[in-house]
Amino acid sequence: MADSSDIDNALIAKLGGDATLLALCPDNVYWDVAPPNATRFVIVSLVSATDTTVFDTRPAWEEPIYEVKAVMLKSANGDIKAAAARIHELLQDQPLTVAGYTCMTVHRNEDDPRIRYTERADNDPSILWFHRGGNYRVQMAVN
């Protein structure tokens, strides 16, 4: 039985299982929000999701788009460029294995592919957070 949440989990597991990425982002990979005191981590969020339906299978495939980004506190002195590059290396045109599905493609989204911005902390203007990564389109055929 295909479960859409398993696609989310597989993406988190793939990123969290990579030693190179974890060396760059040692506070780990999280869905939507990181825990307090994390300063170098990866965030995965669901941007949108669509189902494509055919007569004999409902749906034929699922197509979520994920925002995947490295987030680093400026004072943590991390290499966010390398972290974003590693995320891209792990995901771009690489298969994602999920029970109940067959991977069709994983690639950076054609529209709005990149994420890169700096955020200033509301409570302290001297604190800066760097965000860098991309929006990745995943197409998974339902078995």
Partner 1 sequence: MAILTGRYGEVLWDPTGTGTPAPVAIISLNAWKLSLKTDKEDVSCYGDTNKVYVPGLKDVSGTLGGFYNSADKTLFEAADQGTPGLLKLVPNSQTGEMANFWSGKAYMDADIDCTLQAPKVSGTFMAAGPWTIAP
The nearer residue to partner 1, 49 or 128, going by C-beta atoms, is 49
Reference 2, options 97, 98, 94, 103; nearest CA is 98
Q: Does 110 bind partner 1 (CB under 8 A)?
A: yes
The stretches of the chain forming alpha helices (DSSP H) are 4-16, 19-24, 80-91
Q: Does 48 bind partner 1 (CB under 8 A)?
A: no
When binding is defined by CB under 8 A, the residue of 9, 57, 75, 94 that contacts partner 1 is 57
Q: Which residues contact 103 (CB under 8 A, 6 or more apart)?
A: 95, 96, 97, 138, 139, 140, 141
Q: What share of the chain is helix, strand, coil (3-state, %, to 5)?
A: 25, 40, 35
When binding is defined by CB under 8 A, the residue of 52, 92, 94, 118 that contacts partner 1 is 52
The SS3 assignment for 67 reads strand
- 30 - beta bridge partners? 43
Kindly indicate which of the ranges 4-12, 47-55, 82-90, 114-122 contains the residues binding partner 1, using the contact rule CB under 8 A.
47-55
Question: What's the min distance (Å) between Cβ of 52 and partner 1?
Answer: 7
Greatest CA separation for the chain: 57
Q: Does 111 bind partner 1 (CB under 8 A)?
A: no
Touching partner 1, residues 12-41 (CB under 8 A): none
Q: Does 60 bind partner 1 (CB under 8 A)?
A: yes
Q: Does 55 bind partner 1 (CB under 8 A)?
A: yes
Residues near partner 1 (CB under 8 A), total: 12
| Residues of the shown chain interacting with partner 1 in the complex, contacts defined by CB under 8 A | 52-58, 60-61, 104, 110, 139
